[in-house]
Amino acid sequence: MPNTTVARRRNVLALHRRFLEGAIAAGLPAKGLDQSFAKKIEISPSMWSQIKSARPIGDNLARQIERHCDVEPGWLDKEDRPPEVPDAAEERFIAAAREAWRTANAKGKRELSAWLKKHAQDADPAP
């Protein structure tokens, strides 16, 4: 059974992340970007804060967000999209991998790289 509430939240956070990355890359200061995103999708900053934490996104608001973010109708509802926003476990893994990489010598970096490549291949199902 599809869980539209979870899919919409995950996907709107991905759109928000894209917006933040684009704004910061354009040289805008980080302060106030949540309010700018809320303005872009034509909702109040308060409502955006509620959406980020727990408020479900209804059909009309979902289509409104999609229009303002230039994605096709129904984009927010797709569950099979890989998450663009890393979860806490992924962030911990990335931090641990970064630390291992930075503290390793050349041989350790080669071994770490080989291990990751091997396990990525093992996880990739053959067609």
**19 vs 86, higher pLDDT:** 19
List C-alpha distances in Å: 105 to 99, 109, 111, 117.
Answer: 12, 6, 10, 18
Most confident of 62-66, 84-88, 103-107: 62-66
Task: Determine the pLDDT at residue 114.
Answer: 87
Quick check: 124 pLDDT over 90?
no
Task: Determine the pLDDT at residue 99.
Answer: 86
What are the tokens at 66?
A: 């999609």
pLDDT band at 127 (very low <50, low <70, confident <90, very high): very low
- Decide if 21 contacts 85 (C-beta within 8 A): no
pLDDT band at 109 (very low <50, low <70, confident <90, very high): confident
For the chain, the domains span 4-77, 88-123
Quick check: 126 pLDDT over 50?
no
